[in-house]
């Protein structure tokens, strides 16, 4: 079975944000899936999606580490 949905994430300032709640709200049927594949296509030139464990330290350390290697400015 294949399904496709379109939804919009709220605009936010630069940073790391959790989108799990938004995805679950927009796609409630995925709660019943045992196995599957989710593809997220983000239509924005300066947006990136990173999959990480859901731990506060990750959300705060990722921007710092990216700034250290010169990928972003804080």
Where are the chain's structural domains? 1-74
- Mean pLDDT value of segment 26-50: 85
pTM of the model: 0.64
For residue 54, pLDDT beyond 70: no
> How far from 65 is each of 68, 70, 73, CA to CA, in Å?
5, 9, 11
For residue 44, pLDDT beyond 70: yes
For residue 9, pLDDT beyond 70: yes
- Banded model confidence at residue 59, pLDDT cuts 50, 70, 90: low
Sorted by sequence, the CB contacts under 8 Å of residue 72 that are 6+ apart come out as 14, 63, 66
Q: What is the pLDDT of residue 26?
A: 93
């Amino acid at each position: 079975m294949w399904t496709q949905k379109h939804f919009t994430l709220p605009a936010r300032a630069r940073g790391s944000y959790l989108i799990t709640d938004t995805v679950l709200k927009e796609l409630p049927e995925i709660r019943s899936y045992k196995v599957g594949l989710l593809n997220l296509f983000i239509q924005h030139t300066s947006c990136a999606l990173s999959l990480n464990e859901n731990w506060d330290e990750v959300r705060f350390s990722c921007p710092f580490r990216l700034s250290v290697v010169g990928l972003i400015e804080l």
